Amino acid sequence: MCGIVGYIGDKKAAPIVHQNLKRLEYRGYDSCGIATYSGSSRSSSSILLKKEVGMIDSIHEEVNLDGLPGNIGIGHTRWATHGGVTKENAHPHTSCNGKIALVHNGIISNYLELKAMLEKKGHRFKSQTDTECIVHLIEEKYDGCGRNIEYATIAALKEIKGTYATIIISADDPDMLICARNESPLLLGIGENEMYVGSDIASFLKHTTKAVPLDDGEYAVVTKSGYRIKDIQSGRELDKEILEIDWSDEAAKKEGYEHFMLKEIHEQPQTIANALNVYPEDIQKLAGMIDEAKTVYMIAAGTSLHAAIVSEYWFSNLCGKVVYAVDSSELVNKGVVDRDTLVISITQSGETYDTLAAMRFAKHRGAKTATIVNVIGSTATRMADHFILQSSGIEISVCATKTFTSQLVILLRTALELARMQGRDVSKIEAELSKCSEYIKEVFKSQDKIKDVAKEHFCVKNYIYIGKGINLPSALEGALKFKEITYNHAEGMSGGLLKHGTISLIDSDMHTVAVIPAAGENRQKMMSNIQEVKARGGVVIGITSGEPVPQCDANILVPGCSEIISPIVFAPAYQLLAYYTAVSLGRNVDKPRALAKSVTVE
C-alpha cells in the first residue's frame, strides 16, 4: 500500500517529508514525490512539485527533494494500482491552476464517471490515475464553496465512492492542510508548534510519540498549532483521544505487531474493502471474456491456485459455467488450448515463472489471456490481454494471507457479474459479500482462543485438514499455511477422501483440523467425518462457522455466514492457527526456510 505523509510547522517541510517517506519504504513503492508551498515571490501562485519513478534515494540524488522551499508539504510513495509506473502517474497530483495538490492512498471506484464530467467542464488530466479526479473535483467545487479549501474538499469527498486516505494543500489557504480517511489508514502526529500526518505511525515516530488516528468518514483541518477533526457527512466536530506511542522503530513499521504476517492478517478488513472497490468495468470485462470463451482455465501456483479452486465452485454453482483450475506448471501437459480458450492467471507478484510460462504457452496457441495480479507493470500485466489489480498493497511476509482473500473477493465478484449477465438475481450474495470486512473483524475476537489452541497442540508433528465442497480448498490452503511456517507435516483433503487410506494414519501424533460450515448438507457430512476420526482416538480441532460442534476437542469459531462466502471468512482463522503454532515453535515466521515470496525460477 502507498505511503503518504504531511507536515506543517516552523521548519522547512521538504527534508522532513523526505525523511518521513523514507521511514515508509518497507511498504513497497515504485515512484515518489513531494509538494510544498512557501509563499515566496518565486512560488506565490502555485505549488512546487518534485516527483519521479524509482527509489527515494535515487530520486533525491537526481532532483534534490530537500531543495523545495516552504513550511508546509506533502509526500507520497506510490504502489501503482491504476495507470502505469510513470512520472505523470506519480503523486502528488495538482489542479489545473496549480494551486491545489494532494496525495492519496486507496481506490476511487467511480472515477471514470467523475473524470468524464470534469473533462466536459474543461479540466485537463495529466495522468491515468483515479487519484487525479479528486484534485480536479476539489478545484471544481472551490469557487462554489466561497473559495474555502475545507468546504471544497468536503463537497468533493461527498461525491467520491471508494477508499481513500488523502492530504490536500492549497496555495490560497497556505496555513492549513486538509486530510481525510475512508477505509485506508491515516493518523495525525502532534509536535511542538508543528503537526504531522502519516499513513502509519512509523512515518513520524522520530518526531513525536503523540498520535490521533482518524476513523472512517472523518477529516481533519491541520495547522501548525493544532487540529480540528469532523465527520465528513454531518460536519459535527469530534473529540478524539490522543494516543501515547511506546514503540521501537521496527515495531512502528509493523504497527506494533510482532511479525509482518500478523500485521498483514489484520489488514484483511481493509484489503477486502479495496478488492470490493476494484473498478466494476474491469470486473465486467473479465466476466464478459469468460462468457464468450468456450474453455476457461484458471492457472496459478501455491496459495493462488487454492483461490482458483474456490472459483471453480463459484462459477459452476452461480453461473453454470465450467472453469478449470490448473497448476500453472501442468497446463502445458494437459491443457487443450486454442483460439476459443481463455486462460486467466492468478499471481500475486506477476512474475511467477510457471505461471508466465503457461501464459506464453496459451498465447502461442492463440488463446485470450487475463490476469489477476497485485503488481502493476509486472510481466503478467504486460503479457495479458486484460488485467485486474487486486490492490492488496505490498505483502512483506513470505506467507501469503491478505493477497489470498483479495483474490477470492475479485473472483467472487467476477462470478456474480457473470451470473447477473445471465439474468440471475445475486443481490443477496452481494449484500453478504459486502459484510466480509466486518465478518473478518469478528474472527479477530477469537484470536486469544486460537492462540491457546496453538499453545496446547504445537508439539504435535502431523496434521490433516479436511473440508467439503467449496471449503475443500480452505482445507488445502489451511494445510499449506501450516506447513509453510511451522515446518510440521500437514496435508489437506476432502472429508470424503479421508477414509480412502489416510484415516489409517490417525494416532496421538496426527491431529485433524476440520473446516465446518454453518449449516446444510456439508455440515452434516463433516460431522460424520469427525465421528470417524474420534472413533479411532483422533483429536479434532474445528474451525467452525456459527455454533460450536460438541464432538470437536476444540472449536475456533467464526461468524455464521452462508457457505458461498465462507472461504473468505474461514481464511484468517486458519492463518492465525498456523501463525501462533509457528510462534510457539520459535520459527522465523516472516521468512520461513527455503521459501521465497515470488518463485521466479523453474
Given this model, what pLDDT does residue 2 score?
Answer: 78
| Angle at alpha carbon of residue 274, lines to 197 and 176, rounded to 5° | 20
Q: What is the 3-class SS of 349-375, one letter each residue?
A: CCCCHHHHHHHHHHHHCCCEEEEEECC
What would the grid cell of residue 529 be? 467425518
Whether 150 and 195 have beta carbons less than 8 Å apart is answered as no
Identify the three-state secondary structure at position 598: coil
- Write down the pLDDT at residue 395: 85
Query: Which of 494, 517, 513, 495 lies closest to 570 in space, CA to CA?
Result: 517
- Distance, first Cα to last Cα, the chain: 29
Per-residue pLDDT at 597 exceeds 70: no
* Distance separating alpha carbons of residues 396 and 258, to the nearest angstrom: 13
What does the alpha-carbon distance between residue 159 and residue 117 come to, in Å, rounded to a whole number?
12
* pLDDT, average across residues 243-259: 77
CA distance 199 to 300: 32
Does the domain at residues 3-253 carry the CATH identifier 3.60.15.10? no
Same fold, 268-434 and 445-602: yes
**Strand arrangement of the beta sheet that strand 187-190 belongs to:** 48-53, 31-37, 72-78, 3-8, 195-198, 187-190, 210-213, 243-244
Give the Å distances, CA to CA, from 498 to 232, 473, 554: 54, 15, 20
Give ∠ CA 295-297-300 in degrees, rounded to 5: 175
Distance, CA of 173 to CA of 194 (rounded, Å): 17
Query: For strand 510-516 and strand 100-105, is the pairing parallel, antiparallel, or unpaired?
Result: unpaired
Whether 596 has a pLDDT exceeding 70, the answer reads: no
Cα separation, 299 vs 328, whole angstroms:
5
What is d(CA 267, CA 41) in angstroms, rounded to the nearest whole number?
45
- Give the global pTM: 0.79
Which of 39-48, 62-71, 205-214 is predicted most confidently?
A: 62-71
Per-residue pLDDT for 601 more than 50?
no
Q: Region 12-23: what's the mean pLDDT?
A: 95
Closest CA to 131 of 109, 150, 153, 159: 109
- What are the Cα distances from residue 172, in Å, to 33, 166, 179, 271, 433? 21, 18, 16, 35, 43
CA quadruple 248, 253, 256, 262: dihedral sign? negative
Catalytic residues: 2, 597
Give the SS3 label for residue 392: coil
In 10 A of CB 516, how many CB atoms? 31
- Tell me what pLDDT residue 251 has: 66
Name, in order, each residue with C-beta under 8 angstroms of 362's C-beta and a sequence gap of 6 or more.
Answer: 297, 331, 335, 337, 341, 343, 369
CA dihedral 397, 399, 400, 401 (to 10 degrees): -80
Rounded to 10°, the helix 13-22/56-63 angle is: 150
Q: Which tops the pLDDT comparison, 42 or 118?
A: 118
Q: Work out the pLDDT band at 600, boundaries 50, 70, 90.
A: very low
Per-domain residue ranges of the chain: 3-253, 268-434, 445-602
In this structure, what DSSP letter does residue 402 have? H
Greater pLDDT, 206 or 284: 284
Bridge partners of residue 150, in order along the sequence: none
Strand partners, 388: 372
Note the pLDDT tens digit of each residue in 32-51.
Answer: 999 999 875 344 567 999 99
| pLDDT band for position 161 (cuts 50, 70, 90) | very high
All 3 cell numbers of residue 227? 487540529
Task: Report residue 443 as a C-alpha cell.
Answer: 474472527
Looking at the chain, how many residues does it have? 602
Chain-centre distance for alpha carbon 179: 21
When mean pLDDT is compared across 117-126, 200-209, 324-333, the lowest value belongs to: 200-209
Strands (E), 376-531: 386-389, 462-467, 489-494, 510-516
In this predicted model, which residue has the larger pLDDT, 84 or 129? Answer: 129
- What one-character-per-residue DSSP string does 83-115 give? S-SSTTTSSPEE-TTS-EEEEEES-BTTHHHHH
The model's confidence at residue 176, banded by pLDDT at 50, 70 and 90, is: very high
Q: Residue 247 pLDDT more than 90? A: no
Alpha carbon 57 to chain centroid, angstroms: 26
Q: HSE of 66 in the Cβ direction (CA atoms, 13 Å)?
A: 8
Of 565, 2, 560, the closest CA to residue 274 belongs to 2
Task: Check residue 591 and give its pLDDT.
Answer: 84
Secondary structure (DSSP) of 204-245: TTTT-SEEEE--TTEEEEEETTEEEEEETTT--EE--PPEEP
173 CB-side CA count, 13 A: 21
The mean of the pLDDT values for the chain is: 92
pLDDT higher than 80, residue 563: yes
- Grid cell, residue 50, equals 518534485
Question: When comparing pLDDT for 418 and 353, which is higher?
Answer: 418
Sheet of strand 324-327: strand arrangement: 324-327, 295-300, 341-347, 368-373, 386-389
pLDDT digits (tens, 9 = 90+) for 472-519: 999 999 999 999 999 999 999 999 998 899 888 998 889 999 999 999
> Is the confidence at residue 530, as pLDDT, over 70?
yes
CATH number 3.40.50.1820 is the correct assignment for the domain at 445-602: no
Q: What's the rounded Cα separation, in Å, for the pair 392 and 414?
A: 17
Are β-strands 93-94 and 164-170 bridged in parallel, bridged antiparallel, or unpaired?
unpaired
- Paired strand residues for 558: 545
Annotation: CATH topology of 268-434: Rossmann fold (3.40.50)
Distance CA(264)–CA(402), nearest Å, equals 6
Those residues whose C-beta lies under 8 Å from the C-beta of residue 9, and which sit 6 or more positions away, are 71, 191, 193, 194, 195, 224
Give the CA diameter of the chain.
85
Q: Give the angle subtended at the CA of 31 by the CAs of 345 and 169, to the nearest 5°.
A: 125
Structure confidence at residue 185 as a pLDDT band (50, 70, 90)? confident
